[in-house]
């Protein structure tokens, strides 16, 4: 147990002893960077929406190589950096006025006129730099997806996409390729351990073992649980709340796993959503699709499935699909593990069956079978990087043209995620045709009594609830 962290910042070692320095453990990486002279890290929104604060965090992956992730530094607390490497735009090459000395990503930005006012540029550069170190076949949709978490108000994005392609095509070795072995060694030499930081009235716990986490959770039930902190951090960055106690699960390797067993996925609650997304494109397209529009790349790199379920939001984008698949959630606590059905997880608005001494351990998600059609739709004002107005997951099995079973699970329509039970029952055993779908759509229009809020009115939500079934019907014909 220690109260200090060590990390590399643009290659330089940094040591922060929170208690000695009297530094709040919930200091964000953005604020720390700017207060220490790294002004290339910008604040545009302080809520992980605009991407101006994007930096890259690199750490040793399981394959022994460095893995580069773009993240929003505005909503990342410093303790999460222990044993990792932070790279900002200024860390790509030493300061230079010669364009030929720039990093290939920076050079492409200049040559393709992909910057105007320049405020968003360091963030874009870091998102593209992460791609530069993540080999893949990059086409327009993949580039768009990777940059969906960066806003630019000047360029219109075309020039940025062009620059991204040019940089990725160039693909010559940069400082980080050339020095990978040295950097890996420097990271390995950092002694990481559980953190317990008490500064003034703030307590920050970051255990490295699950048993330790359960113990700490028991001792400090008041501590708010975080992993990527992409949700909880906003309480501080937007509302200036002083978070009194936090239990950070991001150092628990035991809950970072992704396994395919028979016809199920077993996903550790601490697994980041971007890695899950990368693993499910062919085995579970509906999950891939919803994860592709879940927040942004920067958020998905830190956000976890456990966090999404733990916040128990009525508009969480994952639970409808997990419920439609009849998945399960595994809890762990002092008295061991127990498994509950995802359909029995929520009990009310942000209320769950999770006991106060338990943590979410993993999610068991059955895969769609060959004779099933599974889709998930998200309706939001923006395609990317938006909160759902409503979302719906559908799972259908037909036998000889008739509905064997259908699951329709809606988010954003009530205080919690719900099955449209009446509509499901109505369709069971019936022919899967336009007439019956339209009849069911009529039932769906009055199934829920949603709220009217900033995102939409109740009437719109009810109409779309019905229309999504019609969309699913059309899509099901393609399969």
Binding site for another protein (CB under 8 A): 42, 44-47, 50, 52, 117-120, 151-154, 238, 240
DSSP letters, 383-437, are SSS---SEEEEEEEEEETTEEEEEEEEEESSSSS-EE-HHHHHHHTTSB-SHHHH
Name which of 45 and 340 has its Cβ closer to another protein: 45
Contacts of residue 264, defined as CB under 8 A and 6 or more positions apart, other chains included, come to 364, 365, 366, 367
Contacts of residue 384, defined as CB under 8 A and 6 or more positions apart, other chains included, come to 144, 145, 148, 149, 293, 296
The Cα–Cα gap between 395 and 58 comes to 38
Sign (positive/negative) of CA torsion 376, 379, 384, 387? negative
Name which of 16 and 50 has its Cβ closer to another protein: 50
Which residue in the block uniquely carries the two structure tokens 């499935």?
Answer: 305
CB of 47 to another protein, least distance (A): 8
The Cα–Cα gap between 82 and 105 comes to 27
CB of 316 to another protein, least distance (A): 24
Q: How crowded is residue 45: how many other Cβ atoms within 10 Å of its Cβ?
A: 16
Name which of 54 and 227 has its Cβ closer to another protein: 54
CB of 50 to another protein, least distance (A): 6
CB of 26 to another protein, least distance (A): 11
Name which of 15 and 242 has its Cβ closer to another protein: 242
Contacts of residue 196, defined as CB under 8 A and 6 or more positions apart, other chains included, come to 1, 2, 3, 203, 204, 205, 206
- How big is the CA angle at 236 (ends 233 and 239), to the nearest 5 degrees? 125
Name which of 154 and 245 has its Cβ closer to another protein: 154
CB of 92 to another protein, least distance (A): 20
> Of the candidates 150, 450, 406, which has an alpha carbon nearest to the alpha carbon of residue 315?
450
Q: How far is CA 360 from CA 212, 244, 348, 367, in A?
A: 14, 22, 18, 21
Name which of 43 and 170 has its Cβ closer to another protein: 43
The Cα–Cα gap between 223 and 207 comes to 13
The Cα–Cα gap between 382 and 455 comes to 11
Name which of 172 and 382 has its Cβ closer to another protein: 382
CB of 21 to another protein, least distance (A): 15
Name which of 61 and 110 has its Cβ closer to another protein: 110
CB of 118 to another protein, least distance (A): 6
CB of 123 to another protein, least distance (A): 9
């Amino acid at each position: 147990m220690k109260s200090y962290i060590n990390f590399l910042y643009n290659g330089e070692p940094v040591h922060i002893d929170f208690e000695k320095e009297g530094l709040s453990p919930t200091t964000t990486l953005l604020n720390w960077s700017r207060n220490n002279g790294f002004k290339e890290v910008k604040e545009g929104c302080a809520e992980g929406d605009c991407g101006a604060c994007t930096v890259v965090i690199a750490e040793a992956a399981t394959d022994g190589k460095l893995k580069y992730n773009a993240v929003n530094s505005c909503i990342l607390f410093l303790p999460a950096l222990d044993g990792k490497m932070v790279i900002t735009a200024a860390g790509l090459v030493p300061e230079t006025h010669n364009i030929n000395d720039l990093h290939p990503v920076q050079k492409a930005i200049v040559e393709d006129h992909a910057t105007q006012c320049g405020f968003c540029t360091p963030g874009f550069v870091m998102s593209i730099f992460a791609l530069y170190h993540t080999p893949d076949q990059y086409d327009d949709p993949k580039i768009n997806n990777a940059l969906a978490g960066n806003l630019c108000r000047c360029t219109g994005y075309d020039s940025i996409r062009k620059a991204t392609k040019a940089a990725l095509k160039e693909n010559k070795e940069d400082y980080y390729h050339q020095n990978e072995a040295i950097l890996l060694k420097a990271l390995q030499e950092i002694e990481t351990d559980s953190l317990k930081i008490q500064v003034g009235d703030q307590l920050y716990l970051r255990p490295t073992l699950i048993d330790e986490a359960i113990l700490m959770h028991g001792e400090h039930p008041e501590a708010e649980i975080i992993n990527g902190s992409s949700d909880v951090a906003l309480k501080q960055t937007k509302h200036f709340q002083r978070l009194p106690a936090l239990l950070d699960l991001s150092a628990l390797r035991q809950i970072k796993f992704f396994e395919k067993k028979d016809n199920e996925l077993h996903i550790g609650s601490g697994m980041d959503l971007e890695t899950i997304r990368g693993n499910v494109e062919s085995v579970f397209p509906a999950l891939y699709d919803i994860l592709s529009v879940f927040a942004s790349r920067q958020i998905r790199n830190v956000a976890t499935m456990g966090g999404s379920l733990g916040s128990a939001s009525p508009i969480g984008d994952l639970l409808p699909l997990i419920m439609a698949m009849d998945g399960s959630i595994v809890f762990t606590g002092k008295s061991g593990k127990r498994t509950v059905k995802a359909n029995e997880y929520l009990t009310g608005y942000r209320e769950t069956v999770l006991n106060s001494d338990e943590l979410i351990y993993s999610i068991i998600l059955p895969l769609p079978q060959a004779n099933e059609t599974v889709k998930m739709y998200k309706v939001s004002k923006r395609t990317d990087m938006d909160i759902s107005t409503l979302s719906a997951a559908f799972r259908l099995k037909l036998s000889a043209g008739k509905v064997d079973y259908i699951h329709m699970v809606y988010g954003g329509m009530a205080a919690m995620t719900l099955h449209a039970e009446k509509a499901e029952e109505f369709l069971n055993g019936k022919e899967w045709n336009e007439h019956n779908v339209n009849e069911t759509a009529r039932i769906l229009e009055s199934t829920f009594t949603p709220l009217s809020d900033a995102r939409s009115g109740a009437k719109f939500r009810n109409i779309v609830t019905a229309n999504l079934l019609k969309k699913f019907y059309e899509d099901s014909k393609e399969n």
